[in-house]
């Protein structure tokens, strides 16, 4: 099982911010891929919903120090 979600990320001001978000999301068990686009302020995350929840993804981004919300 695999889900994909797009998150809007605020507060990233340099390329290393995007890398930080990607790395921290990727550390979560169940995250298969995390790709962050600095210019569009979006992250696309592919994950196994049986191992990690959307709420946990959001919490991870917040703890990394950025604003986040699910994009519809
Ligand atoms: Mo760049 Mo982002 O110097 O947290 S890493 S602003």
Is the pLDDT at 1 greater than 90? The verdict is no
**Mean pLDDT over each residue of the chain, to the nearest integer:** 97
DSSP labels for 21-48? Answer: HHHHHHHSTTEEEEEEETTTTEEEEEE-
pLDDT at residue number 72: 82
Nearest protein Cα to ligand 1, atom 2: 17
Q: Let me know if 30 is exposed, middle or buried by CB neighbors in 10 A (0-12, 13-18, 19+).
A: middle
Provide φ and ψ at 6, rounded to 5°.
-110, 125
Round to whole Å and give the CA distance between 46 and 66: 19
Distance 70 CA to ligand 1 centre (A): 22
Provide ipTM, 2 decimals: 0.89
Quick one: average pLDDT of 45-54?
A: 98
Ligand 1 pocket test: which of 10, 11, 14, 36 has the largest number of ligand atoms within 8 Å of its C-beta?
14
């Amino acid at each position: 099982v695999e889900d994909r979600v797009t998150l809007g990320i605020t507060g990233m001001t340099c390329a290393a911010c995007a890398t930080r978000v990607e790395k921290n999301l990727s550390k979560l068990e169940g995250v298969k891929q995390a790709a962050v686009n600095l210019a569009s302020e979006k992250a696309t995350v592919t994950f196994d919903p049986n191992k990690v929840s959307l709420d946990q993804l959001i919490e991870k981004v917040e703890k990394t120090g950025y604003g986040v919300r699910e994009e519809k």
